[in-house]
């Protein structure tokens, strides 16, 4: 039997319209779809009716399937000669463990391809009306995780240093530790009045956003009931959401996006 191929495919931030054409084609051709919790049902529905669907998602740190088991599943399916699409929310290589899965496939001599997706920070900021770079306000962008591997002996993130960086900070998986993160940024010299945008369930029908400041965001987001999945964007550019918030305005007005999805 000829060994199959595994495609590590970015499913984007939620909206089916933000899939790449290649991702859409591969989903429709796959024998097996191995998907995460955050992949929208509308995206999984693009698969062939006879395609096998394998859920390996994780939610809020509660493991449904250990990472090593996911890698073993991908290897086994490929060794059975199947075309496997590993659907990952956002982009496979941006806090998606795609690197770990690619390493496992390479070590097992399994052919694989990486199909980039629209990562959540880009989509959340765009839909909230926050330009991550701006000639006046920000010339650098940093992607950070608010939830590191608990097995690491020490954190590699020195938040105080990022508080002095002057860049736009995009924090993934940061809601649980937002109070600590915002305080450490201030300890590093960031002003408590620095604008912050919190965007929950970006690009979907559950899209919500909150405009706040570093000094108040943890308390205000908690009071407003914000939680995962969410992206936190910190920096002067976040203040532009007040006048560039096109998606929330359209939803409030009952205007639907033009859709090219089947």
Report, as an integer, the average pLDDT of 157-178.
95
Share of the chain above pLDDT 90, in %: 83
Among residues 31, 58, 69, 243, the one annotated as catalytic is 58
Q: How confident is the model at residue 262 (pLDDT cuts 50, 70, 90)?
A: very low
- 127 assigned to some structural domain: yes
Q: How confident is the model at residue 259 (pLDDT cuts 50, 70, 90)?
A: very low
Task: Tell whether the model's pLDDT for residue 246 goes beyond 60.
Answer: yes
Q: Name the residue among 78, 120, 100, 114 with its Cα closest to residue 207.
A: 120
Q: Is 58 a catalytic residue?
A: yes
Q: Is residue 67 within 8 Å of 97, Cβ to Cβ?
A: yes
For residue 7, the model assigns a pLDDT of 98
Q: Which two tokens stand for residue 187?
A: 């300890």
Same domain for 183 and 103, yes or no, is no
Same domain for 246 and 129, yes or no, is yes
Same domain for 30 and 69, yes or no, is yes
Task: Tell whether the model's pLDDT for residue 15 goes beyond 60.
Answer: yes
Q: Is 36 a catalytic residue?
A: yes
Task: Give the residue numbers spanning the domain of 41.
Answer: 5-115
Q: Please count the structural domains in the chain.
A: 2
Same domain for 18 and 135, yes or no, is no
Neighbours of 97 (CB within 10 A): 17
Report, as an integer, the average pLDDT of 137-156.
78
- 255 assigned to some structural domain: no
pLDDT, tens only, 119-134: 999 999 999 999 999 9
Q: How confident is the model at residue 154 (pLDDT cuts 50, 70, 90)?
A: low
- 89 assigned to some structural domain: yes
* Exposure of 213 in the CB half-sphere (CA atoms within 13 A): 8
For residue 260, the model assigns a pLDDT of 42
Among residues 31, 36, 69, 206, the one annotated as catalytic is 36
């Amino acid at each position: 039997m000829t060994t199959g191929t595994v495609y590590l495919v970015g499913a984007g931030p939620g909206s089916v319209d933000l899939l790449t054409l290649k991702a859409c084609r591969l989903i429709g051709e796959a024998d097996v779809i191995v998907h995460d919790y955050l992949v929208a049902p509308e995206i999984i529905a693009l698969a062939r009716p006879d395609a096998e669907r394998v859920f390996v998602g994780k939610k809020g740190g509660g493991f449904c399937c250990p990472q090593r088991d996911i890698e073993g599943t991908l290897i086994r399916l490929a060794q059975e000669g199947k075309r496997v699409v590993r659907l990952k929310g956002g982009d496979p290589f941006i806090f998606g463990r795609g690197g770990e899965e690619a390493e496992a496939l390479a070590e097992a001599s399994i052919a694989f391809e990486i199909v980039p997706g629209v990562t959540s920070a880009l989509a959340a900021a765009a839909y909230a009306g926050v330009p991550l770079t701006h000639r006046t306000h920000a010339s650098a962008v940093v992607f950070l995780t608010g939830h590191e591997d608990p097995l690491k002996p020490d954190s590699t993130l020195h938040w105080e240093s990022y508080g002095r960086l002057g860049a736009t900070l995009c924090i993934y998986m940061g809601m649980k530790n937002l109070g600590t993160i915002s305080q450490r940024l201030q300890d590093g010299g960031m002003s408590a009045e620095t604008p912050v945008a919190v965007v929950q369930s970006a690009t979907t029908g559950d899209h919500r956003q909150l405009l706040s400041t570093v000094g108040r965001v943890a308390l205000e987001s908690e009071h407003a009931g914000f939680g995962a999945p969410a992206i936190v964007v910190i920096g002067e550019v976040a203040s532009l959401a007040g006048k560039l918030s096109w998606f929330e305005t359209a939803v409030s007005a009952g205007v639907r996006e033009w859709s090219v999805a089947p």
